[in-house]
Every structure is written in C-alpha cells, then in structure tokens.
Chain A
Amino acid sequence: MAYFDYLPHLVLFTIGTLIGLEISYKWHSEPFVKKKIEPVPLILALIGGGLMIFYAPLGLLFIGFVIGMRPGYGIYESVIGILFALILWVTL
C-alpha cells in the first residue's frame, strides 16, 4: 500500500476546506463574534461523519468544508461531525 492511496482523501479534504473558507466568509462578513452552533454546518458535518464510514474521501469533503470555515466558526460542528463518525465506526 502506498501513500498515494490517500491522495483522493487529501485532495477532497483540501477542496472541502477551500469551499468552506470561501462560503463561510460570504455567510459571515461581520467582525468575529462567538456564536452558537449553526444548523447548516452541523448538517454538513453529520453528513460528512456518516459518509466517512461508506466512502471516506467524500466524507472528508464535507468534514473539510466545516473544518475549513472562517477561523472561529464551525469548531463545535466539526467536533460533532468527527464524534459522529467515530460513533458510527465503533457501532457498525
């Protein structure tokens, strides 16, 4: 097994973070204020967490979207998504 087996994972994760960064700056153009959990990133993180079990590169695209959001945003959503993936991995 070679390192480039994980190239799709890395590329899709990177693309996800780039899209997340771009879109979240459109969502939040105001100065940084701490906010509660947002529904859309949370849903994306959960979808990503779920997909991690079935097709990891696609899951990483969604998780990457939330992780890559504007600094300060998407932290709790990312953690929830990753925990969801871990729970699924343990239970399934």
Chain B
Amino acid sequence: MYYPVNFNLIYILLEIITAFIFGGLLLGLHRKVMARIQGRPGPPIVQHLLHTFKFYIKELSIPNTSSMPLYVAIVLAMDAVWILALIVGPILGGSFLIIIMCYAVHKVAEHGIGLASGSPYTKLGSTRAVLSATAEMPLIAVPALVFFKTDTLLLDGIINYQIVNGSLFTQLPLVALAMFVLVLSKTPYSPFGIVWGKDIVSGYKTEHFGVIRGVMMMGEILAFFALLWCFITIFFGGIITAPLAYMVAMTGITVILAFICALTPMVAPYHAVMIQWIFAILAVVNVLLI
C-alpha cells in the first residue's frame, strides 16, 4: 500500500481536474459520434464542458415546492461520492467494493434529487431511480464473481492477478459484458437511462438550474470517468497500465457506447430491469461454466 505517498491534496486535486476535463471531452465526443450516426453535424466536442461551465454563471432558482437543504445537499453528495470513487480507484488503487458502494449511493442521490424539488416529473424520475436500482443485479454479481476468480477486491490486487494470469476479459467475458451494461446504464441517452427519460421531461434533473445543475453535471462527468476506469482496470488491467493507454481505451469504449446509444431506443422501465437481470444471470453462468 502506498497511501501515505500519494495522499497529498495537490496531487488529488490535479487528478480530479484531469478526470473532469477528460470525462467532459469524452461525453462531448459521445454526443458528437451519436449525432454523426444519426446524420447530424452534432455539437462541438467541447460542448458538454461548455454546458457545465455555463450553468455556473446562471442564476440559481430554487422552486418554492422544494425542500431546500436536501435540494442543495444531495447534489453536493453526488459529487462527493464520485470524488471518493476517484480517490479510491485511479489515485490509490484501493477497494473495488468502495467504488461499487459509490455507485449504489449515486442511485440514492438520484432518488433524493428527484424528491427534493417537489415537481411531479422529478418525483417520477426518483421513482424510476428506485425501480432501476432493482436492475442493478450486475452491481452485486460483478464484484462477487471477480472476487471468486481473483481472491481479492483490491484494484491493485486485481491488476496484479491479471499481470500473472492474463486479462480477466478473456476469462470472464460475460462478467465483463454485465459490467459493460452497468457502464452503459450510466451513459447519457442510454437505452437504460430511464431515470432521465424525455418522456418525463428530464426526469430527476428537471427542476435543477444554475450552479446546482453545473455541480450535478460535474458529478456525472466524474462518474463516467470513474466507471470507465473501473471497467478497463478490472477486465484489461494486465494489458492497459499507462495513463495514456487508459485514455485511448476510454475513448474507444466511449465510441462503442455512442454507437449503442444512437442505435437503440430507450427501453421501457420494466424491460430495463429484465434486460440487466439477464446480463447478471449470464455472468453467473459464465463463472459456473469455468
């Protein structure tokens, strides 16, 4: 463990800023690729970052129907959770279980954001957040199955296992697919993105404007980066080690995600649950077969 060496604030801050800028560019690329597939010029790659910064200079208006402390605090909690995930993951190479916990708390934050504003649309979004939590079977299946295989849940340990025994992607392809579905479900315009479906305006985000929306978008960018990093580390950790290789791999996966998002309509909430359960069961079958 090298916690004392790496645990200095400037190092952590620089890593988080890098993750934020790179994650923002990736989400911009995601929108650009989606637009190209759909025959549109699409926004510039920097658009997602611009959007985020734009909200920081917009007026903050808090609805009369909202529960003000929760309205503000839960968004900050969402950011804090993903900053924690970044510290535990890319910076310290700590426990995968803590990152999974961050993912689970993100669901709670989505639910809280939806309930806080008092709008019927956001409440529908928050209800869907609870429903989609039942779809997160891969969230439990993936760490359990990876643990059975590698005998550790420390990210450094998983990387070391792969350096010795080869990539987990080739050994547990269906588990990798289940984790990929998890990443897909957190991608904008995802077929599983029922919590911010346009049929309920913008879901749980409908009533958040100004700085608070900017903070929320920052959390989403960090979440996207952290999840892509986890996916690459857990299944390609032995092959991809250098930060530049990680960045190239993240870009590649973002393009694949953009293809899926552009070509797949949003599924109905119950179908989202069913499909993700199927992937989790396939992951278990994968482990039973070997």
Question: Which residues of A does B touch, CB under 8 Å?
Answer: 1-7, 10-11, 13-14, 17-18, 21, 32, 67-72
Contacts and interface: CB of A to CB of B under 8 A. Distances in A.
Contact of B14 (A7, A13, A68): A7
A10 B45 contact: no
Interface of A is mostly: helix
B11 A2 contact: yes
Nearest to A73: B41
Contact of A10 (B21, B41, B242): B21
Contact of A17 (B22, B46, B242, B246): B46
14 contacts: A1-B242, A1-B243, A2-B14, A3-B18, A3-B19, A3-B90, A3-B243, A3-B246, A4-B14, A6-B18, A7-B17, A17-B45, A18-B46, A71-B41
B46 A68 contact: yes
B244 A6 contact: yes
A11 to B, nearest CB: 7
A10 B22 contact: yes
A72 B41 contact: yes
B15 interface: yes
Contacts of A4: 11, 14-15, 17-18
Interface in B41-66: 41-46, 49-50
Contacts of B15: 2-4
Given A3-B15, A6-B243, A14 B41 contact: no
Given A1-B243, A3-B243, A72-B41, A10 B46 contact: no
B247 interface: yes
B62 to A, nearest CB: 30
B41 A32 contact: yes
A63 B95 CA distance: 38
Contacts of B50: 18
A45 B45 CA distance: 17
B83 interface: no
A6 B247 contact: yes
B178 interface: no
B172 interface: no
Given A6-B22, A10-B21, A68-B44, 19 more contacts: A1-B242, A2-B14, A2-B243, A3-B18, A3-B90, A3-B246, A3-B247, A4-B17, A6-B18, A7-B21, A10-B18, A10-B25, A11-B21, A14-B49, A17-B44, A18-B50, A32-B41, A70-B44, A71-B43
